[in-house]
Structure 1
Amino acid sequence: MPRPRSLTSDDLADAALAVLDDGGLQALTMRAVATELGMSTMALYRYVADRTVLEVLVVERIFADIDLTLPPAADWLERVRLLLDRTRRAAAEHPAAVPLILRHRQSARGSLALMEATLATLTDAGLTGTDRALAQRTLMGHLLGFLQNNHYAALAGPGTAALARLPDDAFPLLARTAADAAGLSPEREFLAGLDIVLAGLRRYLVE
C-alpha cells in the first residue's frame, strides 16, 4: 500500500541520492526512487511532476550541506577559497550527481546562495560592475570545470596514464605532463589551480 502523503523534499532527495550513489546517474528513474521510498511510481508523482524536479531537489540537498558562514577575520581570498572548496567537497560526496549540479546550478536556491556569498566576498574586495561579473564567472568556471573534468575523467578510467604512455617523439610534453599529473590528488589539483586564479584576481585589483 502506498505511503500517506507525508514525505518531505529532503526525504525525496535522500532517496534519489541513495539511488545515484548506488547505481550512478543512469539508475536515477522515477521507478527506482519510488522503490527506494517503498511506494508506487504513480504515488511518487504526487510529490514531483517529473524527473527534472527530482534532479533539482538532489542539487538542493547537496548544496544544503555546504556551510556558507565565513570567519569574519579572514581576508577575501581565504573566504573565496573556503566557499569553493566546501562546494568541491560536497560534490565529491556524491560524484554521480555532478552532471546534475552542472545542469541545475542556476535553478537550485542553494547554488544561488553560494553565488550570492561569493559575490558578497568579491564586493568586499572592492569589485563592482563588470569586474565583479568577470571575477565571479572566472571562479565558477574553475569550480565547474574541475567538477566536470574530475567526474568524466573518473568515468573514462585511467586516461592520464594512457596519455603518459604516448610516444615521446610525437608528444613529448604531453606525455611528460601527464606523468607529472598522475601524482596530483584531486584536492591539490583543485586548490592549487584556485590559488592561481586568485593570484590573478589579486593582481588585477592592484593594477
Structure 2
Amino acid sequence: MPRPRSLTKSDLGAAALAVIDRDGLSALTMRAVAKELRMATMALYRYVSDRAELEVLVVDEVLVGLDVSTPAEADVRDRLSLLLERMRAAISAHPATVPLVPRHRKSSTATLRWMEAMLSVLTEGGFAGPDRVIAQRTLVAFLLGFLQNEHYASITAPETAAIARLSPDTYPMLTQTAAQAREMSVDDEFRGGLGIVLRGLAIE
C-alpha cells in the first residue's frame, strides 16, 4: 500500500467515524481504519498507539462543528437548553458513537470546550462551588442517560410495546406508563425531562 504523505487528527477521526457509521462500533479496529485510509496497519501506529486514542478522535470528529456560543441576552435556562440540544443533535447524527461520549468526555477537546461553556453559563446564573459541580454533573448525567435511552431503549422500541401488553392487574402503573410513552415523541421526552431537571436545579 502507498505510504501517505501526512495525516491529521481530523483525517484519522473521519476515517474511524466512517468505519463506525458503516459497520458499527464493534468494527472499529486499527486494521479497519488503516484500510479506510488505504495504508498499512502498522503505519497507523505512527499516529495513534491504540483504539482508545482513535475513539477520542472520533468523539472530536463527531463534535467538530459544535457551536458552544449562546446569546448573552438569553436567560440561563434557554442557554443551557441550547447547549444540551446541540450536543444531543450532534451525537444522535452518529448513534453508534453514543457509548464513546461518556467514556472519553474528559479526554476529548470538543467535550471539554462544551463543558467549559456549560460551566460559564451556570456561573453567570449564580452557581458556584459545590452547587455548580452538582448542577453541571446533573445536566451531563441527564444528557448521557437520555442518549442511551434514545438509541438503545427508545420509547418506540419493541420492548416498550411488549411492556404495554403485560397484565395490567400485575403491573398497572408499568403498562399504563408504557402505553403513554408510545404516544410521545423522542423530542417531547427530551425537552420534558430537561425541564424537570432544570426546575429541580432551580433554573427558571
Deviation at 1:152, TM superposition (A): 2.0
Q: Matched residues in 1 for 2:181 and 2:88: separation?
A: 19
Q: What residue identity is the alignment partner of 1:35?
A: K
> Which deviates the most, 180-189 or 77-86?
180-189
Residue 68 (structure 1) aligns with = 68
Per-residue CA deviations over 1:101-156 (Å, capped at 9, x if unaligned) read 121111111111111111110110111111111111111111011112222225xx
Deviation at 1:57, TM superposition (A): 0.4
Deviation at 1:10, TM superposition (A): 0.8
Q: Matched residues in 1 for 2:42 and 2:22: separation?
A: 23
Deviation at 1:65, TM superposition (A): 2.0
Residue 198 (structure 2) aligns with = 198
Q: Matched residues in 1 for 2:31 and 2:194: separation?
A: 40
Using the size of structure 2 for normalisation, the TM-score is: 0.94
Q: Partner of 1:202: helix, strand, or coil? A: coil
Deviation at 1:174, TM superposition (A): 0.4
Q: Partner of 1:188: helix, strand, or coil? A: helix
Deviation at 1:158, TM superposition (A): 1.4
Using the size of structure 1 for normalisation, the TM-score is: 0.93
User: Structure 2 unaligned runs (5+)?
Assistant: none
Q: What residue identity is the alignment partner of 2:13?
A: A
Q: Matched residues in 2 for 1:150 and 1:162: separation?
A: 17
Q: Is the 8 A contact 2:4 2:39 kept in 1?
A: no
Q: Matched residues in 2 for 1:94 and 1:42: separation?
A: 28
Q: Matched residues in 2 for 1:153 and 1:5: separation?
A: 44
Q: Matched residues in 1 for 2:140 and 2:195: separation?
A: 14
Higher helix share: 1
> Which deviates the most, 182-191 or 122-131?
182-191
Q: Matched residues in 1 for 2:15 and 2:53: separation?
A: 14
Q: Indicate whether 1:172 and 2:202 are aligned.
A: no
Q: Matched residues in 1 for 2:29 and 2:138: separation?
A: 34
Residue 123 (structure 1) aligns with = 123
RMSD across aligned positions (CA): 1.6
Residue 151 (structure 1) aligns with = 151
Q: Partner of 1:138: helix, strand, or coil? A: helix
In the TM superposition, what are the counterparts of 1:43-192 in structure 2 within 5 Å?
43-153=43-153, 157-192=157-192
Q: Is the 8 A contact 1:2 1:43 kept in 2?
A: no
Q: What residue identity is the alignment partner of 1:87?
A: M
Runs of 4 or more off by more than 4 Å in structure 1?
none
Residue 10 (structure 2) aligns with = 10
Q: Matched residues in 2 for 1:5 and 1:50: separation?
A: 21
Relative to 1, partners in 2 of residues 1:98 and 1:21: Cα closer, same or farther, differing over 3 Å? same
Q: Matched residues in 2 for 1:163 and 1:118: separation?
A: 37
Deviation at 1:54, TM superposition (A): 0.2
Q: Matched residues in 1 for 2:40 and 2:166: separation?
A: 52
Per-residue CA deviations over 1:42-95 (Å, capped at 9, x if unaligned) read 111111111000000001112222110111211111000000010000010110
Residue 25 (structure 1) aligns with = 25
Q: Is the 8 A contact 2:146 2:190 kept in 1?
A: yes
User: Structure 1 unaligned runs (5+)?
Assistant: none
Deviation at 1:198, TM superposition (A): 1.0
Q: Partner of 2:99: helix, strand, or coil? A: helix
